């Protein structure tokens, strides 16, 4: 059975879900909300208490100020509040994409709350030698959003990430909530996530174990480069997971098996 709740955090309320029993495991994304992690959460719930949520301003999570930017530090503090709400002093954390950046901020700001962080393909652009050019492209994506809307901005975003749009499968039309979440992502979340600079000294000094995850099929993606750069700075190897950037969705059973191996 999945339990749901709406918890209060500074500046808003967060929608959370809890399923299963066992050691606490948080699954987090940015901007991806709880529904994207449902297949993986169900696969892990047999031996873990799995906590998912909608990040601030996404899905069923609300903000007192809709124009507030979403930063990794704010989202990290939200995760600490989520752990408090479910009575978990510590947890393993799986963060994907922007959620991996949130996880890095969580280890930095609340180092004793995390046992193992699996940072799956974090877009930490500042670690790249061409960071300035990459940030300029992010600015262009955001300008495209404001001038032409989320659709054209999303196309540019995906091409920049390394995807060949001609090879992408046909997707159902976005829901009204999908449109709202995409608009918030481009307007208030993308820049704060991609300009986050990991504090390598803090990450390596604390008690948390950090695993840098990479999809087996992500070799051509920008996040392969950023993940490799982070792993090099941390002095750890990259750990391969099934699929590509979204392998935890498309290959949830195999992904769960690998995640268990990594955190257990």
Query: What is the reported pLDDT for 216?
Result: 97
Pairing of strands 209-215, 114-120: parallel
Do residues 15 and 60 touch, judged by C-beta distance below 8 A?
yes
| Number of residues that this document lists for the chain | 264
Query: What is the reported pLDDT for 164?
Result: 83
Do residues 216 and 242 touch, judged by C-beta distance below 8 A?
yes
Pairing of strands 12-20, 62-63: antiparallel
DSSP 198: -
If pLDDT is split at 50, 70 and 90, which confidence band does 161 have?
very high
Nearest residue to 81 via CA among 115, 47, 56: 56
Whole-prediction pTM: 0.96
pLDDT at 87 over 70: yes
C-alpha 259/C-alpha 48 separation (Å) is 12
pLDDT at 165 over 90: no
Do residues 123 and 97 touch, judged by C-beta distance below 8 A?
yes
Section 226-242 average pLDDT: 98
Do residues 13 and 7 touch, judged by C-beta distance below 8 A?
yes
Domain 2-127+195-263 part of CATH 3.40.50.1820: yes
Nearest residue to 211 via CA among 239, 184, 187, 183: 239
pLDDT tens for each residue of 89-132 = 999 999 999 999 999 999 999 999 999 999 999 999 999 999 99
pLDDT at 166 over 80: no
* C-alpha 80: how far from chain center: 15
DSSP string of 17-61, one letter each residue: EEEE-SSEEEEE-SS--GGGGHHHHHHHTTTSEEEEEPPTTSTT-
If pLDDT is split at 50, 70 and 90, which confidence band does 2 have?
confident
Do residues 201 and 210 touch, judged by C-beta distance below 8 A?
no
Mean pLDDT, the chain, as a whole number?
96
Query: What is the reported pLDDT for 13?
Result: 97
Kindly give the residue spans of alpha helices, DSSP state H, lying in the chain: 38-44, 72-85, 98-109, 131-148, 150-161, 176-184, 190-194, 200-205, 222-234, 247-250, 252-263
pLDDT at 169 over 70: no
């Amino acid at each position: 059975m999945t339990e749901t709740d709406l918890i209060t955090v500074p500046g808003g309320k967060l929608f959370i879900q809890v399923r299963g029993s066992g050691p606490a495991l948080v699954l987090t994304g940015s901007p991806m909300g709880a529904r994207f992690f449902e297949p993986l959460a169900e696969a892990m719930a047999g031996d873990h208490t799995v906590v998912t949520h909608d990040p601030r301003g996404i899905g069923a999570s609300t903000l007192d100020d809709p124009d507030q930017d979403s930063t990794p530090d704010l989202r990290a503090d939200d995760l600490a509040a989520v752990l408090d709400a479910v009575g978990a002093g510590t947890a393993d954390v799986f963060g994907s994409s922007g959620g991996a950046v949130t996880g890095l901020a969580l280890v930095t700001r609340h180092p004793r709350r995390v046992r193992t962080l699996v940072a799956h393909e974090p877009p930490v652009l500042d670690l790249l030698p061409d960071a300035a050019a990459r940030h300029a492209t992010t600015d262009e994506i955001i300008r495209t959003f404001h001038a032409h809307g989320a659709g054209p901005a999303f196309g540019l975003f995906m091409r920049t990430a390394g995807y060949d749009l001609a090879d992408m499968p046909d997707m159902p039309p976005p829901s009204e909530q999908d449109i709202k979440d995409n608009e918030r992502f481009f307007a208030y979340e993308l820049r704060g996530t991609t300009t986050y600079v990991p504090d390598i000294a803090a990450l390596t000094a604390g008690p948390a174990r950090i695993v840098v995850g990479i999809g087996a099929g992500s070799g051509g993606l920008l996040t392969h480069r950023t993940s490799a750069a982070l792993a090099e700075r941390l002095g750890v190897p990259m750990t391969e997971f099934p699929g590509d950037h979204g392998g935890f969705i498309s290959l949830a059973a195999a992904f769960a098996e690998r995640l268990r191996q990594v955190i257990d």
